[in-house]
Structure 1
Amino acid sequence: MPTDTDIFESLRQELRRGTLILAVLAQLKVERYGYSLRQALAEVGLEIDEGALYPMLRRLEGQGLLTSEWREEEKRKKRFYRLSTEGETVLERLAAEWRAINDTLQNLI
């Protein structure tokens, strides 16, 4: 039988998954490569490991929300990501949805 800690961790991961997508989209209003994106998220208290971040970036790009390009920087090839025009629209809509959900939850909690 799962413990309270197991249940909490499972639910916490579900909650984080959606919010991390919103955070990644928000951070990519400015062009970044993967490592700099991880650092920017960590600086605001949102840790994400590479094993979750890079598949998310590929999925978001596949959905047309991000664009990317390989460039050499500091003698290394890096893939830079940025919101696409469609990504900007989706971010605005998701942010509005987040605010509405957050307001409702604040009242409930």
Structure 2
Amino acid sequence: MSSLLNSLTTELRRGTLTLAVLSQLRKPQYGYSLVQLLEQAGIHIDQSTLYPLLRRLEKQELVTSSWDTSESRPRKYYVLSDFGVETFLQLKKEWMENSNQLLALLKGDEEDEDGFN
């Protein structure tokens, strides 16, 4: 992959990762469980990307965190705040509208592809 394409792909993924993470935090998750959920959905996210994103979401008050020390290995759990749920639902709606519009454009592009009309 060319460096330009790689850069554009990274840019495209950046916003989708935020939405993907928010979508999985309606129930409390710790970092590794979140990585696993996303991987099962076909979305790869490095821990070096995930943890700074979680900290940013917490700073923006979209996510809250708490430590569970009941097991031998303490885990930090993250979950959407009420504000986070509200924001996620608005972002999801926006994403669905944008995706449908873009899909219509891309389908039209496929029809013209062989003739470049």
TM range (shorter): over 0.9
In 1: Cα distance, 2:11 partner to 2:94 partner = 17
Q: Which residue, 64, 67, 85 being the options, matches 2:82?
A: 85
Amino acid aligned to 1:67: T
Identity of aligned residues (%): 46
In 2: Cα distance, 1:11 partner to 1:22 partner = 18
Q: Any runs of at least 4 consecutive aligned residues in structure 1 with deviations exceeding 6 A, and if so which?
A: none
Give the C-alpha shift of residue 6 in structure 1. Answer: 1.2
Find the counterpart in structure 2 of residue 24 from structure 1.
21
Give the C-alpha shift of residue 74 in structure 1. Answer: 3.6
Q: Which residue, 36, 53, 58 being the options, matches 1:56?
A: 53
Amino acid aligned to 2:64: T
In 2: Cα distance, 1:97 partner to 1:8 partner = 25
- Unaligned ranges ≥5, structure 2: 107-117
Report the number of matched residues: 106
Residue by residue over 1:26-67, the C-alpha shift from the partner in whole angstroms, topping out at 9 and shown as x without a partner, is 000111000000000001000100110000000000000001
Q: Which residue, 89, 100, 104 being the options, matches 2:101?
A: 104
SS of the equivalent of 2:45 reads coil
Matched, 1:8 2:11: no
Amino acid aligned to 1:57: L
In 2: Cα distance, 1:50 partner to 1:106 partner = 30
Give the C-alpha shift of residue 73 in structure 1. Answer: 4.9
SS of the equivalent of 1:76 reads coil
Q: CA RMSD in A?
A: 1.0
SS of the equivalent of 2:76 reads strand
SS of the equivalent of 2:51 reads helix
Matched, 1:41 2:35: no
TM-score by length of 1: 0.94
Please identify the structure whose Cα radius of gyration is greater: 2
